[in-house]
Amino acid sequence: MDFTPTAEQRQIREMVEQFADEEIQPRAAEIDETDEFPRDLVDRMAELGLMGMPIPEEYGGAGLDYHAYAMALEEISRASGGLGTVVAAHVSLACNMIYEYGDEAQKEEYLVPLASGREVGAFALSEPGAGSDVPAMETTAERNGDEYVVDGGKLWISNGSVADTVVLFAKTDPEAGAKGISSFVVRPEEDRGFVVEGTEDKLGDKGCPTAELRFEEMRVPVSRRLGAEGDGMGQALKTLNGGRITIAARGVGIAQAALDEALAYAGEREQFDQSIGDFQAIQHKLADMDTKVQAARMLMHRAADRKMRGKEYIKAAAQAKLHASEVSREVANEGIQIHGGYGYVKDFPVERFYRDAKLNEIYEGTSEILRNTIADQLLDS
């Protein structure tokens, strides 16, 4: 694949790069310190059309292709890993679920406010005993006339405490395993029985609230079910496949930030009467870091290209996410090493990149699960 950005894609990237440099980056340390959801920056991203990038304009989005979307998310994540997760969870998961599986009435009522950025979305799949093992979920939705009665709870839900719309997965047929899972549109402010138990104090990814949710006889109208009963597992897997492209973008963005800081520091820091960038040991680190970032970026665009052309992209997305996740951690680690003792203190941002990078290897498919996925695709081909 020979990916050369179009004029429009370059324009989008430059616009988001400028926004990230001028408005997000100066706030990144503060966001990391306070762990407060930066509502004003989310509103600014909505003004710029960044909260519904790949969603068609008729549904409130910007109608961008996945290359432009990934490039934009890379730039946001370069400035703040937490904001990268806010956007990825909102767009790739919540918006895409309703766009792909909602009917026209659902898209008009729930997708348009999300894609335009007037509202924030979340994707509630994981549970304490059901992370990688999705069919082990215990949340149930029992049909009662024109409603479902939902009981249970969810954990690790990005945007969960600030979302206006939550795409929720629950068992409508507990005896059917994976084929008994369905998905629903939930409105926290409207649906009695929706409880936010609290948010997690995480290692990194600050600014994106990760919530524990509980549902106590919460009634959801049948009209808010997405697709047919039992479709939820397939919907979730397909949505996560696309989401992995954007988590790859988050990884690339964080790795690029670590490389940029390491390059600048190597040119400024002097030891033994010369800049440390003159030492071959440091030069080799920088060379390896850049090579890894470039390779991860190309895997990201390869997966985006296959998705856009309607080709099978399960393996490509898994490889992009796996490689970019590990590269982000490795490059951030070397960024700390190049900074020496300064890299270990919060006066410099490289320690934040390391903390933010680690999450990439855990959410939306752990690295272990992704290796299983890649192997399955290889053996089935």
Number of domains into which the chain is organized:
3
Please indicate, yes or no, if residue 37 is contained in any of the structural domains.
yes
- Asked whether residue 94 falls in the same domain as residue 138, the answer is no
Maximum pairwise Cα distance, the chain: 79
Domain boundary at 198, 230, 262, which? Answer: 230
* C-alpha–C-alpha distance, residues 170 and 113, integer Å: 24
- Asked whether residue 148 falls in the same domain as residue 222, the answer is yes
Please indicate, yes or no, if residue 1 is contained in any of the structural domains.
no
In contact, 160 and 213? CB cutoff 8 Å: yes
Q: What is the CATH number of the domain that holds 172?
A: 2.40.110.10
- Asked whether residue 148 falls in the same domain as residue 189, the answer is yes
* C-alpha–C-alpha distance, residues 182 and 202, integer Å: 30
| pLDDT at position 72 | 98
CB within 8 A of 324, min separation 6: which ones?
A: 247, 248, 249, 250, 251, 252, 255, 296, 297, 299, 300, 360
- Asked whether residue 19 falls in the same domain as residue 83, the answer is yes
Query: Angle 165-169-172 (CA atoms, 0-180°, nearest 5)?
Result: 130
- Asked whether residue 42 falls in the same domain as residue 159, the answer is no
Q: What is the CATH number of the domain that holds 97?
A: 1.10.540.10
Please indicate, yes or no, if residue 135 is contained in any of the structural domains.
yes
Q: What is the CATH number of the domain that holds 322?
A: 1.20.140.10
- Asked whether residue 255 falls in the same domain as residue 318, the answer is yes
Q: What range does the domain containing 210 cover?
A: 122-230
Domain boundary at 121, 153, 174, which? Answer: 121
One digit per residue, pLDDT tens: the chain, 381 residues? Answer: 668 899 999 999 999 999 999 999 999 999 999 999 999 999 999 999 999 999 999 999 999 999 999 999 999 999 999 999 999 999 999 999 999 999 999 999 999 999 999 999 999 999 999 999 999 999 999 999 999 999 999 999 999 999 999 999 999 999 999 999 999 999 999 999 999 999 999 999 999 999 999 999 999 999 999 999 999 999 999 999 999 999 999 999 999 999 999 999 999 999 999 999 999 999 999 999 999 999 999 999 999 999 999 999 999 999 999 999 999 999 999 999 999 999 999 999 999 999 999 999 999 999 999 999 999 999 997
Q: Given the residues 74, 119, 334, 364, select the one marked as catalytic.
A: 364
Pairing, β 181-186 against β 165-171:
antiparallel
- Asked whether residue 96 falls in the same domain as residue 226, the answer is no
| pLDDT at position 381 | 73
Please indicate, yes or no, if residue 324 is contained in any of the structural domains.
yes
- Asked whether residue 215 falls in the same domain as residue 298, the answer is no
- Asked whether residue 190 falls in the same domain as residue 269, the answer is no
Tokens coding 181: 């899972």
Please indicate, yes or no, if residue 61 is contained in any of the structural domains.
yes
Domain boundary at 181, 208, 230, which? Answer: 230
Q: How far is CA 73 from CA 10, 47, 101, 312, in A?
A: 13, 16, 24, 23
- Asked whether residue 370 falls in the same domain as residue 288, the answer is yes
Question: What is the pTM for the complete model shown?
Answer: 0.97
Please indicate, yes or no, if residue 309 is contained in any of the structural domains.
yes
Please indicate, yes or no, if residue 2 is contained in any of the structural domains.
no
- Asked whether residue 110 falls in the same domain as residue 137, the answer is no
| pLDDT at position 255 | 98
- Asked whether residue 254 falls in the same domain as residue 363, the answer is yes
Q: Nearest CA to 89 among 233, 226, 211, 216?
A: 211
Q: Is 364 a catalytic residue?
A: yes
